[in-house]
Amino acid sequence: MEATTTERQAEQARDRVRYKALDESTMCGAFQVTASEHPDRVALRTKGDEHVMTWGEYADKVRSLAAGLAGLGLGHGDTIGLLLTNRPEFHWVDSAAMHLGATPYSVYNTYSAEQIEYLVSDAQNHIIVTESQYLDTVKAVTDRCSSVEHVVVVDGEADGALSLADVEASAADDFDFEAAWKAVAPDDVLTLIYTSGTTGPPKGVQITHENELSAGRSFDQIIQFPDGARVVSYLPMAHIAERSCSHYLPIMFGFTVTTCPDARQVISYLPEVRPSWFFAVPRIFEKLKAALEAGMENEQDAERKEAMKGALALGLEKVRLEQTGQEVPDGLRQKYEQADEQMFSKLRAALGLDDIEALNVGAAPTPREVIEFFHAIGLPLAELWGMSETCGAGTCNRPERIKIGTVGPPGPGIEVKLGEDGEVLIRGGVVMSGYRNQPDKTKETFTEDGFLMTGDVGEFDEDGFLRIVDRKKELIINAAGKNMSPANIEAKLKTAGPLIGQAIAIGDQRSYNVALVTLDPDAIPAWAREHGLDGKPIEELADEQAVIEAVQEEVDRANEQLARVEQIKKVKVLPTEWEPGGEELTPTMKLKRKPIAEKYADEIEALYSS
């Protein structure tokens, strides 16, 4: 096994693509290198090639928009707000502002006017770029925020707003584009990433040009991106993972980006795009696994159904042997290779993942059985770990050596160690310059020797691979003093069956754990039809005894995988959905634990008093 890995690494070193953009000191320089090297390569596209733009055309658009934005008063050190879905115009405007030495920041589309007002008050931007569907929200913001002088609409015209054509027409005749971008320095702030606010108001994470280039250089040594790689842009651009994956890394590596304005449709994009690299949050892989298993279970041909189940069992046996360092018997390997050729290769092609170089998951814990499933069908899913404050970089499982249950070793150029209490500490070029307008908060986030205190608790194994236990402030410490990871418990609940959509485990300072769960809006309609409850809304289904019993069966299955002290003793099915950006979930689908505890205090107390 070791020899095979070494040979692969040697082969990769010989074939490694040399990306000149990584030698630049700013993202502006990286952009210019990539655009000049690949002027005819497609840089941005939409599904079905309804819109296609080459790197050369992209560079021309950036030049004209930069001149126009400068004409509106945007200059070095200024900020600009972007409230946009995933569309080509986002990339144009962000890159144009970047070339002026300005700092673009993105706003979650689900934010209310009040939430956006907070960001604008902190950023003090004079320009907001948006699209027609958000104009009412933006109007409410501009009525309250005197700093905003211009609203730009990218998809049409509106009273009191500028179009992109208007912006370009605002350019001054003597604007010097070359001088503008060459004046940008490595320590200039490239973007603000406003944290999603699980523990209070968002903080503006200041990511510099050097930070992002450091992250790109690190990823280049972990994942060897092929020349002309393809990615899909679908997560909110206010999320550091998406900002890096589908905006900054393409600038450094010359990717072709396909924009997907609705994240719920991303799986349908994959067969057309055939991405070289695909990153997703755990929920997407959990739902894809459930859909594939449901398709297997619903197979009408009994012989084919049995063959598929047998192939999956072979794959899982092979994966588990490899993960424990055991030799895979020749007979098992041959049977698996045959199953892979006959079934799994066709499945990967149907999914659009047959050209994948790296498949990554992060931003929250991923259940082991989910990762094992994808390995079994020939898709080596790998966990990584990072945060807004580190450009999304930190640790990552390499494609050639993935240890399931870990988030991998530290990336090249990144130092990671554990504090006395197990807190993960990180230092390196990827770490932010600080929080905007919060010097005290910045200072208390770093140790005296310059390590960022992440707030995550972790542990290293004997090979230097990191395992994240949970958020330091979110650990459940029960009445007996036992520490537990709620995220681990919740992951087991959500993958124990199709009905549980979201879950929160509660038990801090209590004698046992309980849970609040919601029904999965994608799975419950089909289940309801099968059980004679067709047509009933989620609000009513949550009170149906048959639904409660089915959810309890899923809880029981989850409990079988948990230690006795971690098990859920009582559960409440809530008659509601939790939407990203709502009262219960951040836009990145992290639980807002304190607001949930306050909102559902009566339901929680009922579980303990009954």
pLDDT of residue 536: 85
pLDDT of residue 279: 93
HSE-CB at 487 with a 13 A cutoff on CA atoms is 21
Give the tens place of pLDDT for each residue, 71-98.
999 999 999 999 999 999 999 999 999 9
Beta-bridge mates of residue 178 = none
Least confident of 234-238, 298-302, 473-477, 547-551: 473-477
Beta-bridge mates of residue 457 = 423, 470
Q: Which residue has the tokens 């900002």?
A: 243
**3-state SS of 269-336?**
HHHHHCCCEEEECHHHHHHHHHHHHHHHHCCCCHHHHHHHHHHHHHHHHHHHHHHCCCCCCHHHHHHH
% pLDDT > 90, the chain: 69
pLDDT of residue 131: 96
Range among 226-235, 361-370, 466-475, 540-549 rated most confident? 226-235
Q: How does residue 5 score in pLDDT terms, banded at 50, 70 and 90?
A: very low
Rounded distance, CA 175 to CA 185, Å? 19
User: Whole-prediction pTM value?
Assistant: 0.84
Tell me the pLDDT of the chain averaged across its residues. 91
pLDDT of residue 11: 52
The pair of three-digit structure tokens given for residue 352, joined into one six-digit string: 């659009």
Which of these, 501, 498, 407, 492, lies nearest to 457 by C-alpha position?
407
Give the tens place of pLDDT for each residue, 509-520.
888 999 999 998
Which of these, 348, 359, 284, 275, lies nearest to 315 by C-alpha position?
348
What is the average per-residue pLDDT within 225-243? 93
Q: Cα 353 vs. chain centroid, distance in angstroms?
A: 18
Give the tens place of pLDDT for each residue, 347-369.
999 999 999 999 999 877 788 88
**Domains of the chain with CATH codes:** 24-184+240-246 (3.40.50.980), 282-354+356-472 (3.40.50.12780), 475-609 (3.30.300.30)
% pLDDT > 70, the chain: 97
Q: Which residue has the higher pLDDT, 13 or 26?
A: 26
Beta-bridge mates of residue 467 = 459
Rounded distance, CA 370 to CA 354, Å? 19
Interstrand relation of 189-194 and 204-208 (parallel, antiparallel or unpaired): antiparallel
Quick one: CA dihedral 323, 325, 326, 331, positive or negative?
A: positive
Give the tens place of pLDDT for each residue, 390-438.
999 999 999 889 999 999 999 999 999 999 989 999 999 999 999 999 9
Q: How does residue 9 score in pLDDT terms, banded at 50, 70 and 90?
A: very low
Which of these, 543, 555, 539, lies nearest to 499 by C-alpha position?
555
pLDDT of residue 586: 79
Other beta carbons less than 10 A from residue 427's beta carbon: 18
Beta-bridge mates of residue 483 = 477
Q: Which residue has the tokens 């992290």?
A: 590
Q: How many residues does the chain have?
A: 610
CA-to-CA separations, 68 to 73, 88, 176, in angstroms, rounded = 9, 18, 12
HSE-CB at 118 with a 13 A cutoff on CA atoms is 15
Q: How does residue 286 score in pLDDT terms, banded at 50, 70 and 90?
A: confident
pLDDT of residue 327: 93
